[in-house]
Every structure is written in structure tokens, then in C-alpha cells.
Amino acid sequence: MYEIEIIAGFSSAHLLREYKGKCEHLHGHNYKVHVTVQAESPGPGGMIIDFGDLKRITGRVVEPLDHAFLNEIPPFDKIEPSAENLAAYLFHQIASQLPEQTVTLSSVSVWESDTARATFRSKGE
């Protein structure tokens, strides 16, 4: 199995409505997003997907979140904008834009600090 990963980032603010503590107050993060895709074998040019293509897809997905108040952006206007929910949201958005039958999105990790991350992976990983 071949696997590649790209890293993207965005800055945004949020508050956790159902949390009691510091994070219930408005605060921000400089998020790092790690996107990992896999394939059984490389395709033309010896790649499973061009890094640039994966970066563009991820960039289109994270761009609306950059310098935004996450609590006002669907689906986070209804669900908590936690790192876990961000990872799942980004996973599904990126997966829907990948070329079919070329690569499989295996995981998306969202780092909200240098020492804290949440990961969402496809079932079976």
C-alpha cells in the first residue's frame, strides 16, 4: 500500500457551546490539517496522486474556514466546532472531491496546537 500526506493550515476562532471551562469562551487556533491518502499502486508518472492536486483540493475545502468564526459556518452553526468534528467534516469534504478509483482518503488529522490533535479515518483503517 502506498500512502502520501500533505499538510495545510488555517486560522479561525470558535467557542464550544457545550463545554464548561476556558474553551466555552471565544478563542482562536492556528490549525494544521494533515491529509493522508493511499492507493494499491502508483499510477502514471509513478504517483498515486500529484501532491499539487491534493493540496488544491484541500485548499478549496479549508479556505472558507480561514479567518472565520467557525460557529457561524454550517455545519458548525449546529454542531460543536471541536477538533474531532472539524476532522470529520474535512474528511468528508475532501473525500468527495478526490478522483474516483484513483486514491482513497485514509485519514484527516486536525492539530489545534503543537501537542493536541484529533483524527478521523475511514472505517477499516
User: Can 72 be counted among the known catalytic residues?
Assistant: no
Asked if 67 is an active-site residue, the reply is yes
Catalytic site includes residue 27: no
φ, ψ of residue 105 in degrees (nearest 5):
-75, 120
Which member of 24, 67, 72, 92 is catalytic? Answer: 67
The one catalytic residue among 5, 23, 34, 84: 23
- HSE value, Cβ hemisphere, 13 Å, CA-based, for 87: 21
Cβ 34 vs Cβ 7: under 8 Å: yes
Q: Exactly one of 14, 29, 80, 112 is catalytic; which is it?
A: 112
- Catalytic residues, which ones? 23, 67, 112
